[in-house]
Homo-oligomer: A and B are copies of this chain.
Amino acid sequence: MQQINVGIIGFGTVGSGTVEALIKNREIISNRAGTEVVIRKIADLDTESDRGITVDRGLLTTSSMDVIEDPKINIVVELIGGMEPAREYILEAMERGKHVVTANKALLAEHGHEIYQATERCGVSLAFEASVGGGIPIVRALRCGLSANHIQTIMGILNGTSNYILTRMTQEGHPYTKVVQDAVDLGLAEDPPTLDVDGTDAAHKLAILISIAFGSPASFKEIYREGISSLTPDDIRFAGDFGYSVKLLAICRNLGDRLEARVHPAMIPGDHILANVNEAYNAIYLEGDFVGPNLYYGLGAGRRPTASAVVSDIIDLARHIRLGANGIMPPLAHFRPPDKGILIQPMEELTSEYYFRFSALDRPGVLSKIAGILADQQISISSVIQKGREAGGSVPVVMLTHEALESNVRKAVSLIDQLDVVMDKIVMIRVENR
């Protein structure tokens, strides 16, 4: 049995988990890889902190170039995250003929094209299972398991932190700020968890899934993003009264000539399989033209789940390397990109159902004024409920609409917000019934 040498750049949370898995499960990993998988170098600026695992100190270096330039290393594992120097390290490693494993969703979502091209130029493989859904093998499902299908729908709960926050808000009725503070205090969220809660992280992951599903790098910037910070326990409760759960969803729908691609809070029917994905779990719901509906569920982050994904990539690459089978699959699993690339529909052209909540003065004619604005924008109401009555004379009114055009909804919202009889800003949540 020959030997495959791995160099790891980044000895933080995921790096430590990866080293731990490679050491603890060494026997089963080499059985499955068909070759010994050996850690040859680990680079991190901090070579002193205790990571809870025992590694030969001789493996540690503070210089990433020690890893990249080591001629004996077959696979470079990039686990530092972020744009630079991760991008530079990956490209340098590839130029030296090294295969690369990365968990870096932000980099792939924003600079994937350059990296995917480098694999071809350098004749190396790139694997990135850990970049989406932590331990859930969703990248493989799209690259291999569902390869016979045209993918029609992707709906994902792709950010564990925001799903944890929404679960607490739903179950305990606490406001967003309190739940976030608790999550930060418990070490479950970064302080502040901006990229998690504003939809950026989920949009990075959606960009990667779309790129694989459709064979061409998706433009991250064209993916609409809206976060969860303005959601209230009231809206979550009202949604529940209508039979819906509120989730931060990353959604892609294949419209034939173009794609919907968007991340925002959404109401989904309580009996949808995604509605019961709670706490920090992630899940990806997919539909393909042959396979029908599929769901993949698991822990979307954390030291050990993410390490599971990183090491599965190392094993796959080792299987290829021992046979000299480079280029067995391009990064996006398409040998020919689609002719016209990926066209993302502008958000204004979305058609969807909507939930609105506004506080209106409790006096005659108010609802008819609002209904008139909606009607002018071709928005038809499917149900409306007035929720009790407040001391100040204003009442919360919630309504659901039939399918309407996003640009019309935005116009209507802006007009209603200008009415004297409407207190506070109107709340709008998209409803996913399809």
Chain A residues in contact with chain B, CB under 8 A?
Answer: 17, 21, 24-25, 28-29, 31-34, 129, 135-137, 140-141, 144-150, 215, 271, 273, 276, 283, 288-299, 302, 304-305, 307-312, 314-316, 319-320, 323-325, 327-329, 333-336, 338
Contacts and interface: CB of A to CB of B under 8 A. Distances in A.
A215 B150 CA distance: 33
Contacts of A32: 147, 215, 333-335
27 contacts: A21-B148, A25-B149, A25-B150, A25-B289, A29-B147, A31-B335, A32-B147, A32-B333, A33-B335, A135-B290, A137-B144, A137-B145, A140-B140, A141-B145, A144-B144, A144-B315, A148-B311, A148-B315, A289-B304, A290-B311, A291-B299, A292-B299, A292-B304, A294-B298, A320-B325, A320-B328, A323-B327
Given A137-B144, A320-B325, A325-B323, A292 B297 contact: no
Given A292-B298, A334-B31, A323 B312 contact: no
B295 A144 contact: no
A147 B149 CA distance: 25
Contacts of A295: 283, 295-298
A329 B273 CA distance: 34
Contact of A290 (B33, B291, B304, B320): B304
Contacts of A276: 271, 273, 276
A323 B325 CA distance: 6
B294 A297 contact: yes
A285 B296 CA distance: 10
A311 B325 CA distance: 22
Contact of A294 (B136, B320, B328): B136
Ranked nearest first, the 8 interchain pairs of A and B with the lowest CB-CB distance are A137-B145, A148-B311, A325-B325, A135-B291, A295-B297, A291-B308, A34-B335, A290-B308
Integer count of this chain's copies in the complex: 2
A25 B319 contact: no
Given A25-B290, A31-B215, A298-B295, A148 B320 contact: no
A289 to B, nearest CB: 7
Given A32-B335, A147-B316, A273-B297, 4 more contacts: A137-B141, A276-B276, A296-B297, A325-B325
B296 A17 contact: no
A24 B289 CA distance: 10
B290 A17 contact: yes
Contact of A312 (B146, B311, B329): B146
B31 A336 contact: yes
Contacts of A312: 144-148
B323 A292 contact: no
B308 A148 contact: yes
A329 B335 contact: no
Contact of A305 (B140, B290, B325): B290
A310 B305 CA distance: 29
A140 B145 contact: yes
Contacts of A314: 148
Contacts of A273: 276, 297
Contacts of A335: 31-34
Contact of A147 (B298, B315, B333): B315
A424 B34 CA distance: 57
A140 B139 CA distance: 12
Most B Cβ at <10 Å: residue of A308, A309, A334: A308
